Chains A and B, each alone.
Chain A
Amino acid sequence: KNEVEQSPQNLTAQEGEFITINCSYSVGISALHWLQQHPGGGIVSLFMLSSGKKKHGRLIATINIQEKHSSLHITASHPRDSAVYICAVRRIGKLVFGAGTILRVKS
């Protein structure tokens, strides 16, 4: 079993829909990261969380340390949000990544 599990693996949404991507992990962590990867490979860090909730524009990330679970929400989704969203946990100084969620937002 992978240390970091993401769901869903693939997600197609219509423009304007509210989107949720989930991440569960099975080990102790010092922080959890949500990352965005566009075609071509470059990774952009969206959030780093160790507790609670963070918001940036239309993106919201939450984490529940007791349940070892985090969610990334996108409100009013737009085609430019189409990308791979990756959850990664920081453990003993290194990042352990989930497999990613491929999001496609159709206009």
Chain B
Amino acid sequence: DAGVTQSPTHLIKTRGQQVTLRCSPISGHKSVSWYQQVLGQGPQFIFQYYEKEERGRGNFPDRFSARQFPNYSSELNVNALLLGDSALYLCASSWWGRVYGYTFGSGTRLTVV
């Protein structure tokens, strides 16, 4: 079985641009979460989606948005990129409704210049 796949693996963007990151969960997992990890820090929660609906949102500005598709894959969009958005963006998939473990993707390394 494929694990959680994220694309692209690396990305360089210029300040002010927009970026879309993609995540495909493990087959059968209906919940996808997004996390931002700045160098030297632990990941920070951005969004959680289940059945195409937003179920949780972290303390991030409105420049950050996400959606989940009928096949449970997800996209994270960031508009008007700032230098501080440079980070590793991690996607995790899980079951919903009970306390199950998470499976993480390898992340997308975003560099804003």
User: Does A42 touch B at the CB level, under 8 Å?
Assistant: yes
Q: How far is the CA of A96 from the CA of B106 in the complex (A)?
A: 19
Binary interface encoding of chain B residues 90-113 relative to chain A, with 1 for a CB under 8 A from any of its CBs, else 0:
101000000111111111010000
Interface residues on A, range: 20 to 34
| A-B interface contact total, Cβ < 8 Å | 62
Please tell me which one of the listed residues A40, A43, A90, A100 contacts residue B99 in the complex, with CB atoms under 8 A apart: A90
CB neighbours of B48 from chain A (8 A) = 93-94
Please tell me which one of the listed residues A44, A50, A94 contacts residue B33 in the complex, with CB atoms under 8 A apart: A94
Determine the residue in chain B with the shortest Cβ distance to A84. B42
Interface residues on B, range: 20 to 34
The interface residues of chain A, by DSSP majority, are classed as: strand
Interface residues of B (CB under 8 A from A): 33, 35, 37, 40-45, 48, 55-56, 58, 88, 90, 92, 99-107, 109
B37:A45 contact, CB within 8 angstroms: no
Please, could you name 22 A-B residue pairs with CB atoms under 8 Å apart, sorted by A?
A30-B99, A31-B99, A33-B101, A41-B37, A41-B88, A41-B90, A42-B105, A43-B104, A45-B102, A45-B103, A45-B104, A48-B99, A86-B42, A86-B43, A93-B55, A94-B33, A94-B48, A95-B35, A95-B43, A95-B92, A97-B44, A98-B42
